[in-house]
Structure 1
Amino acid sequence: MLGIIDRFEDEFAIIELENKKIINIEKSKIPTEAIVGDVLNIGEYITINLVETESRRKRIERLSEDLWK
């Protein structure tokens, strides 16, 4: 399952799942280098999906460039 870090609140990361459901995961269970906007692989272990994260960031960059043209 994939999820995107929406924000951090206290000891939790607020994650939006692919189905738009919002869940809270304890910060201690996600990689310490994770930041807002990172795409996570959520399963037995939680890891940052570097390929999806980079793809998403580039897509957002292109959209914002188009917005300001």
Structure 2
Amino acid sequence: MKYTVDRIESGYAVCELENGSFSDIPLNEIPPVKEGDVLVEVNGRLVVDEKAAEERRKKIIALQNDLWE
């Protein structure tokens, strides 16, 4: 399952799951994250998937650029 960090709030990463629901994950249980990062489970731990996060950012930028064309 992938978790996309929606925002950081009161010591939690508020993450959107693939099914559209949200989950609050304590920041002390995950590596440092920022909004838009994608977390995946590896060996029972959540880690940042840099490739997925970069692909997501590129997709959002492309969508924004399409709005202005």
TM-score (norm 2): 0.91
Equivalent in the alignment of 2:7: 7
List per-residue Cα deviations over 1:5-36 (Å, max 9, x = no partner).
Answer: 0111111110100001101100011112x100
CA-atom RMSD, angstroms?
Answer: 1.0
Q: Is the 8 A contact 1:7 1:36 kept in 2?
A: yes
The answer for unaligned runs of 5 or more in structure 1 is none
Q: Output the CA distance in 2 between the equivalents of 1:15 and 1:48.
A: 12
Q: Output the CA distance in 2 between the equivalents of 1:51 and 1:16.
A: 18
Deviation at 1:47, TM superposition (A): 0.4
Runs of 4+ in 1 over 3 A off after TM superposition: none
The answer for unaligned runs of 5 or more in structure 2 is none
Matches within 5 A, 1:45-56: 45-56=45-56
Name the SS for the 2:16 alignment partner. Answer: strand
Aligned residues: 68
Q: Identity of paired residues, percent?
A: 37
- Aligned amino acid, residue 51 of structure 1: K
- Aligned amino acid, residue 42 of structure 1: E
Name the SS for the 1:3 alignment partner. Answer: strand
Deviation at 1:59, TM superposition (A): 0.6
